[in-house]
Amino acid sequence: MAYWAAMSTKMIEQQLADLQKRVAVLETQRKPRGSWQDLIGWTKQDHLFREAAKLGAAWRAKANRRGH
């Protein structure tokens, strides 16, 4: 029998109310300064990032050739 099937309507309503309270608290907590959309393109002109990406690609290619 599923967990929810053994619960009474009153228990489900209580859990729903508790979850709604928790969500309300989470929504009021500090939000991040920016979203992931704000970060798109931030590495476009960063030569160190491009170099790190090249080194990572080379490392992965070598590891793939070795079968790791």
DSSP letter for each residue of 13-56? HHHHHHHHHHHHHHHHSPPPSS-HHHHTTTTTT-HHHHHHHHHH
Domain region containing 55: 41-68
Residue 24 lies in a domain: no
On the question of pLDDT at 14 being above 60, the answer is yes
Residue 64 lies in a domain: yes
The reported pTM is 0.38
Residue 5 lies in a domain: no
Residue 52 lies in a domain: yes
Residue 53 lies in a domain: yes
Q: What is the pLDDT of residue 55?
A: 96
Q: Is 67 left (phi over 0), alpha (psi -120 to 50) or beta?
A: left
Q: What is the pLDDT of residue 65?
A: 92
Determine the Cα–Cα distance for residues 54 and 48; give it in Å rounded to an integer. Answer: 10
More confident of the two residues 34 and 7: 7
Instruction: Give the number of domains in the chain.
Output: 1
On the question of pLDDT at 22 being above 70, the answer is yes
Determine the Cα–Cα distance for residues 29 and 23; give it in Å rounded to an integer. Answer: 10
Confidence of residue 31 (pLDDT cuts 50, 70, 90): low
On the question of pLDDT at 9 being above 70, the answer is yes
Residue 49 lies in a domain: yes
